[in-house]
Homo-oligomer: A and B are copies of this chain.
Amino acid sequence: MNTTSIIALLHGPDQSGLVAKVSGWIFDRKSNIHHADQHKDQEANIFFQRVEWTPSGQIDEEAAAFEKFAHDELGMAVKVAKSTDRPKVALFVSKIDHCFHDTILRFRSGEMAGELACIISNHEALKADAEIYGIPFYHVPVNKDTKATAEARQLEIVHQHNTQLVVMARYMQVLSDEFLANAACPVINIHHSFLPAFAGGKPYHQAHTRGVKLIGATAHYATADLDEGPIIHQDVTRINHRNSVSDLIRKGKDLEKSVFAQAIRLHLDNRILVYHNKTVVFD
């Protein structure tokens, strides 16, 4: 008997009986649903579903058959994965190291359903640490003039490692539309504010100047518009008048680490669907 399960993420125009058709298809093949979660956006008339089951037949055949069924018969966009999949992840970093260490340690501890395949940085500051962790480190310097060349090199590395997810751990550089299009995989970024408040640079300084009583962090998919992509996860923490900008930075680090990690975990567990610049997160 299989212990591996199939996870399918579906979405498309709502129609009558979708839950019955999906669960009926699985039941007819003598397979057992473990979890099924669905959502309808009533205004947009879109149906979303995450369903997880143990197939009784050969797993890759069953996965392919379901994909065909969902696409051809239900007219749904569909992604099918196996619970044992461990997609390759590329980690983009700069010189700031708190998300870097936190992310790597979480992958190493088995908390993440993926594999850190490579680290790409525009600085060499974290090279020695990356080597200790045993993860290939690529130094790709970037400046205004070399950005196109640098991104071409970054893409080369990303593709060479069969990367299925890029995560930007305070990388501090904007990735161009061309990069995002050619990477051909999702890119998750962590922004150090409660977006849409304090988009752009130096958000902790902005927060300090405005005198807010809470600071936040936002993990989102990167899009062509900086800080405007679909939000995956957010959290905040309380601050007060005694806190300097450096206190905000210190407190914010803990937020950034946990919000970023949560977003990566949700993505790798196939719990996120994106539409209309928003996310459905089946947590």
Chain B residues with CB under 8 A of A16: 27, 30, 32
- Complex interface bits, A21-41 against B, C-beta within 8 A gives 1, otherwise 0: 101101110101111111110
Q: Is A98 an interface residue (CB 8 A)?
A: yes
- Complex interface bits, A219-243 against B, C-beta within 8 A gives 1, otherwise 0: 0000000000011111110001110
With both beta carbons as reference points, the residue of chain B lying nearest to A98 in the complex is identified as B109
Q: Is A77 an interface residue (CB 8 A)?
A: no
B250:A111 contact, CB within 8 angstroms: yes
Complexed CA–CA distance, A249 and B105 (Å): 16
Chain B residues with CB under 8 A of A281: 213, 240-241
Chain B residues with CB under 8 A of A39: 241-242
Interface residues of A in 188-219 (CB under 8 A from B): 194-198, 210-214, 216
Chain B residues with CB under 8 A of A105: 98, 101
Among the listed B210, B216, B277, which residue makes an inter-chain contact with A211, where contact means beta carbons less than 8 Å apart?
Answer: B277
A211:B279 contact, CB within 8 angstroms: yes
Complexed CA–CA distance, A27 and B18 (Å): 9
Q: Is A122 an interface residue (CB 8 A)?
A: no
| Copies of this polypeptide in the complex | 4
Chain B residues with CB under 8 A of A101: 101, 105
Complexed CA–CA distance, A277 and B250 (Å): 24
Q: Is A74 an interface residue (CB 8 A)?
A: no
Shortest beta-carbon distance, A220 to chain B, in Å? 9
Chain B residues with CB under 8 A of A216: 214
| Residue from the set A27, A132, A261, A277 with the largest chain B CB neighbour count within 10 Å | A27
A279:B241 contact, CB within 8 angstroms: yes
Q: Is A258 an interface residue (CB 8 A)?
A: yes
Q: Is A19 an interface residue (CB 8 A)?
A: yes
B250:A254 contact, CB within 8 angstroms: no
Chain B residues with CB under 8 A of A159: none
Shortest beta-carbon distance, A162 to chain B, in Å? 27
Shortest beta-carbon distance, A45 to chain B, in Å? 12
A278:B211 contact, CB within 8 angstroms: yes
Offer 16 A-B interface pairs, CB within 8 angstroms, sorted by A: A16-B32, A17-B23, A20-B20, A20-B27, A24-B24, A35-B38, A35-B40, A39-B241, A98-B105, A111-B250, A194-B194, A197-B197, A211-B230, A212-B234, A213-B281, A240-B281
* Besides A16-B27, A16-B32, A240-B281, 18 other A-B contacts (C-beta < 8 A): A17-B27, A19-B23, A19-B33, A20-B26, A36-B36, A39-B241, A98-B105, A101-B101, A195-B197, A196-B198, A211-B231, A211-B278, A213-B281, A214-B236, A241-B278, A241-B280, A254-B258, A258-B258
